[in-house]
Chain A
């Protein structure tokens, strides 16, 4: 590759300065990206008495106390939010991945009758979005207002992910399928025992897409779920951080008497809430880097 070639050549001082400048620009980018998150982490782990004057520049906790995290994790709203988010995201990922795979496999068969018609049907939904009011009325007719399934089933089969998977399935060599067909295996059996095992990396990618998408989804939950007990974590976070509703999170009694969680500085509570919401994304981030980047790169080079 060109890299090794240039490395072996002696570099002029000017080139060294350029390299240093490029690297420092990128490092600045890294700092700007990561520092705000580390600052919030440090803030949430600081001694509550020192939070008031905590600098936005610092990334080291001032004193140490796990209180903010403990209080938040013991809080019924937060616990409920975590439970709802895990349940809703889990169901969405399961339904989405299975449904998309089931639809993508037939669509990857070039001779499938009406294949083109079905593709157009799918593409229309990408191009034409009638907006949230008709969607709201659909939910109303389906009886899904204030029902978590209105959020879970949203994008159950995502058009883009479907296209990605169809493209992957098309690459499966025909010979593998023909031999199974000669052995008399049914189409369902072929799909289950030949196609799906081969598609494992693609399915993992799709599942991750759905996971990130649904974990971060808040708008529908905000519109359709009236009861706080049904809210996912993103909506709980939104009410607290964007709405600035401190009483909602610390409780009216605590707020009035300034006891318990109400004694903790609201900045630290907000920081802790934001981080609790990020933790699952951080947990799967290595997988995201592996599958998302690889998938995109491979596709782009080929495309």
Chain B
């Protein structure tokens, strides 16, 4: 699941109800007892078994990070040796750095775009035109990264892509942006914007629509112009939403989106956009260094969990809304 989807889901659906309930009221109930509840557990059984096998067995398997994997089991316990190896490898630092740089660039240059799009959409008076624009700009969010990478490879082709045609008409030399280490991170930023700037604006638009219309009416009577209304009503109205999404985005800082990067990666640009996830994939499944790869994955998982939890509780405290 991509981070935007995750955030969209959480933002749209607020708190997990179960956690809000006080602990005391959970056990028993009015008609409590096994006779009443067993059908419910029977219904949940397939889902619960799925969660235990599919999500909890891998957590157990992650102990490989502390082992030397042998072709013939059992594995040997080696303690922190894999982590020592990991932290002494310059490639690993490069990979962590790349992850942080890409996440940072996305936070700066992707995060604000949907806010602007939502503000613009809100200024369109005719609801027919607005719906039409929305239908068009939401579309890329539902395309796979394979498709989007394919579209971008075509767009950026130096010989016959639209970008090359325009830049060369303006007198710039032809550049293959896909195989250029200086530009590939910007291509990630651009393609992320192409994919989500439209769809992510929906959350802000919903927040704008929830603002009390009486505020705008009052502003009209006072003779406020468009910018004053945006500045003094709309923006303050959606600030809690912006704050929530910003903090939750910070929590996803180590997830630079494997699905995107792996489709934009090629032999030439790989050193600049190699992230933790692609590193784990490469040394694990391609080279077969399972223990080292698991250690790198676990490093990311633990730090990532810390970030997500911190951002969740900070967001809950500051804005009342968390990840769940």
B interface footprint on A47-65 (CB within 8 Å = 1, 0 otherwise): 0000001111100000000
Q: Is the CB of B262 within 8 A of A219?
A: yes
A271 near B154: Cβ-Cβ < 8 Å: yes
Chain A residues in 8 Å Cβ range of B47: 99-100, 102-103, 157, 162
Q: Which of B35-43, B88-96, B97-105, B180-188 lines the interface with chain A?
A: B35-43
Q: B57: which of A2, A138, A158 is its contact (CB, 8 Å)?
A: A138
A3 and B125 contact, CB distance less than 8 A: yes
Decide if A156 touches B121 in the complex (CB within 8 Å): no
Is A92 engaged at the interface, CB distance under 8 Å to the other chain? no
A residues contacting B by CB (< 8 A) are: 1-3, 5-7, 9, 15, 18-19, 22-23, 25-27, 29-30, 32-37, 39-40, 53-57, 99-100, 102-103, 105-116, 118-138, 141-142, 153-158, 160-164, 166-167, 170, 186-188, 191, 212-213, 215-219, 223, 234, 237-238, 241-242, 267, 270-271, 273-274, 277-278, 281, 285, 288-289, 293, 295-297, 299-303
Contacts of B308 in A (CB 8 A): 127
Q: Are B160 and A99 neighbours in the complex by a CB distance under 8 Å? A: no
**Nearest Cβ on chain A to B223's Cβ, whole angstroms:** 10
- B199's nearest neighbour on chain A, judged by CB, is A292
Bound: A272/B19 CA distance, A: 49
Partner among B32, B139, B145 whose Cβ is within 8 Å of the Cβ of A33: B139
The answer to whether A130 and B12 touch across the interface, beta carbons within 8 angstroms, is no
**A273 nearest in chain B by CB position:** B150
Are B150 and A110 within 8 A (Cβ)?
A: no
Contact of A278 among B40, B147, B202 (CB under 8 A): B147
* A-contacting residues, B9-30, CB 8 Å: 9-14, 16-19, 21, 23, 25-30
Q: How far is the CB of A11 from chain B (nearest CB, A)?
A: 10
B107 in the interface (beta carbon within 8 A): no
Bound complex: CA of A248 vs CA of B2, how far in Å? Answer: 30
Interface flag for B209 (CB, 8 Å): yes
- Say whether, besides A26-B133, A237-B147, A296 and B12 are in contact (CB < 8 Å): yes
Give the nearest-CB partner of A101 in chain B. B43
B residues at A contact (CB < 8 Å): 1, 5-6, 8-14, 16-19, 21, 23, 25-30, 32, 37, 39-41, 43-44, 46-48, 50-51, 53-62, 64, 117, 120-121, 123-125, 129, 133-140, 142-147, 149-151, 153-155, 157, 160-166, 194, 197-198, 202-203, 205-207, 209-210, 213, 216-217, 220, 225-226, 258-259, 262-263, 277, 280-281, 284-285, 290, 293-294, 296-298, 300-301, 304-305, 308-309, 321, 323-324
In the complex, chain B residues whose CB is within 8 Å of the CB of A302? 14
Closest A-B pairs by Cβ, 9 of them: A131-B297, A111-B29, A103-B47, A56-B162, A216-B144, A134-B61, A106-B40, A187-B39, A300-B206
Inter-chain CA distance A272–B63, complex, in Å, is 45
Chain A residue at minimal CB-CB distance from B300: A131
The interface residues of chain B lying within 8 Å CB-to-CB of A278 are 143, 147
Chain B residue at smallest Cβ distance from A55: B165
Question: Which residue of A26, A29, A267, A300 is within 8 Å of B12 (Cβ)?
Answer: A300
Q: Which of A18, A127, A219 contacts B309 (CB 8 A)?
A: A127
How far is B154's CA from A36's CA once the two chains are assembled, in angstroms?
A: 8
Q: By the criterion CB–CB under 8 Å, are A19 and B43 in contact?
A: no
Closest to A137 in B: B61
The chain B residue sitting closest to A271, CB to CB, is: B154
Which A residues lie within 8 Å of B123 (CB)? 19, 22
Given A34-B139, A131-B300, A242-B150, 6 more A-B residue pairs with CB atoms under 8 Å apart are A5-B216, A19-B125, A30-B133, A135-B61, A216-B142, A270-B150
Q: Which residues of B contact A128 (CB under 8 A)?
A: 59, 301, 305
Q: Are B62 and A131 in contact (CB under 8 A)?
A: yes
Q: How far is the CB of A197 from chain B (nearest CB, A)?
A: 17
Q: Point out the residues of chain B lying under 8 angstroms from A115, CB to CB.
A: 18, 21, 26
Chain A residue at minimum C-beta to C-beta distance from B212: A2
Cα-based distance from A134 to B202 in the complex (angstroms): 36
CB nearest neighbor in A for B156 = A56
A-B contact pairs, 14 of them (CB 8 A): A15-B225, A23-B129, A29-B197, A36-B155, A57-B162, A57-B165, A112-B37, A113-B29, A125-B56, A129-B304, A158-B1, A160-B5, A289-B134, A296-B12
